[in-house]
Chain A
Amino acid sequence: MKDAENVQLAEALAPIRDMVKACIQCGTCSASCPNAFAMADTPRRLWRMLQAGEVQMVLKSGSFTLCSACYTCTLRCPRGLPLTDAMSALKQVVAHQDALRFASTTLFYRKFMESVRRHGRVRETEFMCLYLTAMKNPLLPFQFAPLGLKLFSRKKLDFRPPSKGGDARMDALFQKVHELENAP
């Protein structure tokens, strides 16, 4: 069973592995990454794991979820590798492969996009309400409270309820993306 899973995962990761095969482990990406301090495994180590075919380790690591897509590593990589794309591809693969573990992270993304779909931009208040409701954890709002108050005091948050339902102008776009993503 485990082996079959491994094979399936390796297949899913193969295109990402191809992206970083030419890496020479110079470390430019890791030294450039603004989030590397918080990662258990630096970007360079992730590429190494991919090269060596250590698929389970990649999955376990999860450091790629911290990528904020600033593209600094892509800009600076002397090998010209699409590192940010690789990070985002990793996120997509594990979102499918290990849905349970990354449930809260993917939920965060989904609710974010839901708000975008409705309004063409994110409405922070609505987005957080959607997210916190979906998480079904009564204690969770308290964790975000200090940040929310800080943002509010700086007039970064709008507590007015969002206009009802939006006007669905973004639906076509999202529909198309969905089709493309699920195309064979």
Chain B
Amino acid sequence: MTGLRYVYAVCRPFDTPLQAQLGGVAGDPPRLLPHGDLVAVVSHVPEADFGEEALRAHLEDLDWLTATARAHQQVVDALTAVTTPLPLRLATVFRDDSGVRVMLEERESAFRRTLDRLEGRVEWGVKVYVEPERTEQADSERSAAPAEPEQRPVSGRDYLRRRRRQSRANEDLWSRAEEFATGLHRTLSGRADDARLHAPQNPRLSGAEGRNVLNAAYLVGRDASEEFVEMVDRTKDDAPGIRVELTGPWAAYSFAGEQEGTEEGAGKKAGEDS
């Protein structure tokens, strides 16, 4: 019993060897499984952990999910260093090598189309956060009259006035943030080959400060990436109370589906598959 096959990605054949000390999911270093002019990158994983029942249970175990997701990403990342991989969704598992080969054969033309579309491109993640708790500070920095900065309210009326000012400042910040995010997305989309909007992240999951108002992914050529990153970087002085985070380069996870040019949430693309 050699276990099941966990598939990370599908690539075109490549010559450069993968970085040596890759752990792989379940501690099994990734192997290349060539078929035709495609290569599946697989690990052998135990049925006890990756059979249907076990997998379902494991996916609700945050520690297990974290370790598996990181191992998956590590392999895809290593592939990204030597080729343009087409990453598969987490936990795509086959019975044996021949199951993987059949899959490669059945989907060959779709894989080739998608690989052509992604060739030489990477994904950059850009998130915009609003930090309302900083409004007061940001406001007093901008305000011409920072009259009563740190003083406690002296009366009920004073308190209410401050509350009102604070809430106006927040509203102002929200509308500026929306405008900013929309503008940034438009600008970056113009520089990218494709764009996707992910659902804003729950701050309790991310642990990030502030509220996530834009969570976007951009498909950018490797040779255009430096310029893209600089462009994101230049937004830094544009807006107080707003924070921009850049992640990447990623393999083109968010663009692995076959639909092009749409900006639906990546999750919606699942429907095309059957």
The answer to whether A and B come from one shared complex is: no
Residues of B within 8 A of A (CB): none
Residues of A within 8 A of B (CB): none
